[in-house]
Amino acid sequence: MNAPDIIVFLGRFHPLVVHLPIGFLLLAFLMWIYDHWKKTDTFNQAIAFSLLLGTVGAGAACVIGFMLSLSGGYADSALDWHMWAGIATTILSTWAYLSFTLSLSENRAKHIRWVSLTLMVMVLSATGHLGGNLTHGSDYLTEYAPIIGSRANQLPPPVTIQQAMLYDHIAKPIIQAKCISCHSDEKKKGGLSLVDGAAMRKGGDAGSIFAQPFGENELLRRIHLPESSDDVMPPKGKTQLTENERKLLAFWLKQEGGFGMTMDSVGNDSINHLAAVYLGLEKNSHGENNIAQLDSVPQHVIENLLAEGVVIRELVAGSNCYDVRVPSSLGHDKGAELLKKLEPLAQNIIWLHLSGLGLKNQELAPLGAMNNLVKLRLDNNDISDEGIKPIASLKRLEVLNLYGNALTDNCLTDLSSIENLKTVYVWETEITESQVGKTKIIR
Ligand code: HEC
């Protein structure tokens, strides 16, 4: 469907606008319950006012929501239920409002209030839930629930690559992480849902994702486009597939979904290798990051760091490999303190950003324990040649950014002892060389 841009623009305010009326209507309901309980009518005026605001807000949310629906991509049935529930909420709240403002016999008013407010809250809850399903997927609420949640029913992770299931352990997690937010039963962008085999066979506007000839396959074409392209999937600006994920999805597609197929029965060495790397069961071809051997980090350690403002992202779900950033906005004192607190995570940090924290030489000591570090950003700190010492022992380090520190050629000996170091960025330092051993120095 092609709605004018301005309609879609306004429509996108729907999630913002809906929460206010929900609050007003619930408040009205709670005040009414309170009055009922205390057998008074002290809140009557406030209830009427709250209902008025709630009704106007709900009406606005309906109109804006309708605009959003014109942008397309939502499953019709799920959308219809949500829309009619929203309209019903508005009608019920209007009715409730009138019961507080029209002059009715006391008995009648009481009756109408009882029916309209109770129904209103029930339908309002349903509307909110259905709307949440449209946005997040119907699995969202229960995904992490014990026993009934889909997480609880997941297959256990494979121990060897031969046991791994092509769809369940490989294709599905990739799709869940990178596609499902827009291609579920509730939100079928391009008409395509990727929730299960049946939905995939049904396909989108271009037909079943398996039935299209390999050379003309729309899914395959889109995942291989450059990120700048208008048709690329995931769309530009979203986290793109890695090269490994692309190859695995392409292979999986060739097997027409390979549902129920183990990697053992696939019997394709190069695909098995990629899959093993994806699952963290094997080293990648450079022999580094043997991620399977990383021990997990207690959840509370990560949660405490997150609470203090550190940004932590797991590189591959379940790999225990982390990308960690201490934002420069936290300032020097906090930055130095947090660097020390990263200690329990030291072995698990693969990428680390410590830019612009004003860190000094002696504060860099904790880096020495981060044996698995591959990328390190230390730009715009207060480091001199002496500060490079703890880094010199990091065997896996490949990329180092030292831009904007008071460094000279004297630190090159230390840098040259980092075996795997490929690139060092030294803009705005006094380093003059452009190559040290195999390491490229970029100014
Ligand atoms: C942020 C939302 C978003 C994400 C994430 C996303 N897509 Fe899409 N996708 C869209 C939209 C919007 C369309 C339809 C517009 C268009 O044609 O570009 C679409 C269309 C498609 C189509 C065309 C369907 C057809 O039959 O014509 C395919 C195939 C597709 N996506 C595959 C994927 C895959 C595979 C992923 C994950 C790797 C993915 N998408 C992730 C939004 C998304």
Tokens of 308: 């203090």
Do 332 and 392 share a domain, yes or no? yes
- Distance in angstroms (rounded) separating the CA atoms of residues 74 and 71: 9
Do 115 and 238 share a domain, yes or no? no
- State residue 395's pLDDT score: 87
Residue with tokens 């090269």: 243
- State residue 70's pLDDT score: 86
More confident residue, 231 or 290: 231
Segment 97-115 shows an average pLDDT of 93
- 190 Cα to the center of ligand 1, angstroms: 6
Q: Is the CB of 203 under 6 A from ligand 1?
A: yes
- State residue 213's pLDDT score: 78
Least confident of 40-44, 175-179, 439-443: 439-443
- State residue 174's pLDDT score: 94
Least confident of 66-80, 156-170, 319-333, 342-356: 66-80
Report the mean per-residue pLDDT for the chain.
88
- State residue 254's pLDDT score: 87
Do 194 and 275 share a domain, yes or no? yes
- State residue 273's pLDDT score: 87
- State residue 136's pLDDT score: 72
Three-class SS state of 430: coil
- Distance in angstroms (rounded) separating the CA atoms of residues 37 and 47: 15
More confident residue, 155 or 13: 13
- Distance in angstroms (rounded) separating the CA atoms of residues 150 and 64: 33
Q: Is the CB of 218 under 6 A from ligand 1?
A: yes
Q: What is the pTM of this model?
A: 0.50
Do 306 and 384 share a domain, yes or no? yes
274, pLDDT greater than 70 = yes
Pair 260, 280: CB distance under 8 Å: no
Do 303 and 271 share a domain, yes or no? no
Segment 150-158 shows an average pLDDT of 70
Segment 345-353 shows an average pLDDT of 92
In a domain, 239, yes or no: yes
Least confident of 3-7, 299-303, 407-411, 413-417: 3-7
151, pLDDT greater than 80 = no
Q: Is the CB of 179 under 6 A from ligand 1?
A: yes
C-alpha dist (Å) from residue 416 to 63, 105, 345, 369, 434 = 64, 91, 26, 19, 12
Q: What is the pLDDT of residues 55-82, one digit of tens each?
A: 999 999 999 999 988 877 676 777 899 9
Question: What is the extent of the structural domain holding 56?
Answer: 5-136
CATH number at residue 363: 3.80.10.10
- Distance in angstroms (rounded) separating the CA atoms of residues 185 and 23: 29
Per-residue pLDDT band for 134 (boundaries 50, 70, 90) equals confident
- Distance in angstroms (rounded) separating the CA atoms of residues 18 and 301: 36
Of the three residues 249, 282, 315, the one that is the final residue of a domain is 282
Our measurement of the distance from residue 366's CA atom to the centroid of its chain's CA atoms, rounded to an integer in Å, reads: 30
Total of domains in the chain: 3
Which protein residue has the closest C-alpha to ligand 1 atom 40?
233
- 246 Cα to the center of ligand 1, angstroms: 14
- State residue 314's pLDDT score: 82
Do 309 and 427 share a domain, yes or no? yes
Q: What is the pLDDT of residues 225-239, one digit of tens each?
A: 988 899 999 998 888
150, pLDDT greater than 90 = no
In a domain, 287, yes or no: no
Q: Is the CB of 235 under 6 A from ligand 1?
A: yes
Of the three residues 247, 282, 317, the one that is the final residue of a domain is 282
Q: Is the CB of 231 under 6 A from ligand 1?
A: yes
Do 313 and 435 share a domain, yes or no? yes
Helices within 308-429 (DSSP H only)? 332-341, 412-416
- 223 Cα to the center of ligand 1, angstroms: 9
Segment 404-411 shows an average pLDDT of 93
- State residue 137's pLDDT score: 67
- State residue 289's pLDDT score: 43
Least confident of 277-291, 301-315, 389-403: 277-291
Of the three residues 236, 255, 282, the one that is the final residue of a domain is 282
In a domain, 145, yes or no: no
- State residue 292's pLDDT score: 47
In a domain, 149, yes or no: no
Do 229 and 176 share a domain, yes or no? yes
Do 96 and 230 share a domain, yes or no? no
Q: Is the CB of 57 under 6 A from ligand 1?
A: no
Segment 294-321 shows an average pLDDT of 85
In a domain, 20, yes or no: yes
Do 363 and 416 share a domain, yes or no? yes
In a domain, 271, yes or no: yes
Do 307 and 385 share a domain, yes or no? yes
Substitution candidate for ligand 1 out of 179, 188, 189, 228 with most atoms within 8 A of CB: 189
- 233 Cα to the center of ligand 1, angstroms: 5
Which protein residue has the closest C-alpha to ligand 1 atom 30?
219
In a domain, 215, yes or no: yes
14, pLDDT greater than 70 = yes
In a domain, 66, yes or no: yes
Do 328 and 255 share a domain, yes or no? no
C-alpha dist (Å) from residue 373 to 121, 314, 398, 399 = 53, 14, 8, 9
